[in-house]
Amino acid sequence: MKTGDAVSVFSDLEGKCTRGNKDFKGKRVFVGNGVAEMDRADIFCSDEPVKGVGVRMVEPLYQSPSFDGVLPSLAFLQNLPSVVVGHVLGPRPGERILDMCAAPGGKTCHIAALMGGQGEVVALDKIRGKVERIRQNAKALHLDCIKAHCFNSIKAVCTDQVQDTEGPPFPPQSFDRVLLDAPCSGLGQRPSMVCTWNLKEICSYQPLQRKLFHTAERLLKRGGVLVYSTCTVTLAENEEQVAWALNTFPCLTLQPQEPHIGAEGMLGAGLSPEQLRLLQRFSPELVWSAAEARGEDDSPTEQPESPTPLAHRANKDTIGFFIAKFLKS
């Protein structure tokens, strides 16, 4: 391979391709065609770490431009459902808001921006490196109202009614709004070429999410809003958790969401049709046709129709996601 050669790019699904292999027969998925920006020798025969662009993609399978490093102080790239979550939470200037599982801080920063930087957004994560990432993102976007702490959110509530320190744990009813973007099996994430999880691992998240739910309810003020979200598609981590929460916490009631551009909730958890309509689900299935993605008809014999409104097509061809909004009475 020489600089300027046309090359095809594949993903090695099982991570078994050895360095420099010329005849790999393992499981792979085609991701697009490109042009080599380096010679093969520059990549595989260098004594120094290889840096820079190896292949410039000219025919990618997924038509997504790169936003890496574009307007870093003004823009933060998010998936559509992640943007919707911040608006559903509905933060207002002057409020105190908790983001319980905040890393890497995209939703945290969006919440702070929606508040105009007025108030306080407390961001928690139990992994120190991830907390530093939240702080870096907040600094880059000039959002001074974000306070990030390395702490296990399950233990974020204390029995004392008066708080001695700025950080966690916090007294009960400390926050006007709480976002529980819970750890989950992540089955809605894209792109994902292969899933190595077993059933035991996938099922391990429901108990953890319920422990976090207990803390969220205790930290939320009466009259406050709790938003529960995941980036997975399982009934057990989504609608079943909503049904459990409604039975466990009589003070919580489901609320309408604005905007509501996703599909309604899935059957099977014992929720009523009215309750399912209050939930939002986003589907990760691909929309391969560009015309279909625009809401048009592929048929050459028919006149093209006007594009389908976003609200009628936003619940598919994105990451898999789930949102529920509760009010604490």
Instruction: Please state the residue numbers annotated as binding site.
Output: 101-107, 125, 160, 181
Residues 6+ apart with CB under 8 A from 9: 30, 31, 32, 33, 34, 55, 57
DSSP bridge pairs for 9: 32
In the structure encoding, which two tokens stand for residue 114, read together?
A: 């929606």
Residue 204, CA distances (Å) to 146, 184, 188, 210, 241 in order = 31, 9, 17, 11, 13
**Is the Cβ–Cβ distance between 282 and 78 less than 8 Å?**
no
User: Which residue among 145, 158, 231, 251 is the active-site one?
Assistant: 231
Q: Tell the burial category of 84 from Cβ atoms under 10 Å away from its Cβ (0-12, 13-18, 19+).
A: buried
**Is the Cβ–Cβ distance between 281 and 316 less than 8 Å?**
no
Q: Which of 279, 195, 278, 274 is nearest to 237 (CA)?
A: 279
Instruction: Please state the residue numbers annotated as binding site for S-adenosyl-L-methionine.
Output: 101-107, 125, 160, 181
Q: Which of 84, 63, 78 is nearest to 293 (CA)?
A: 63
**Among this protein's residues, is 109 annotated catalytic?**
no
Instruction: Just list the catalytic residues.
Output: 231
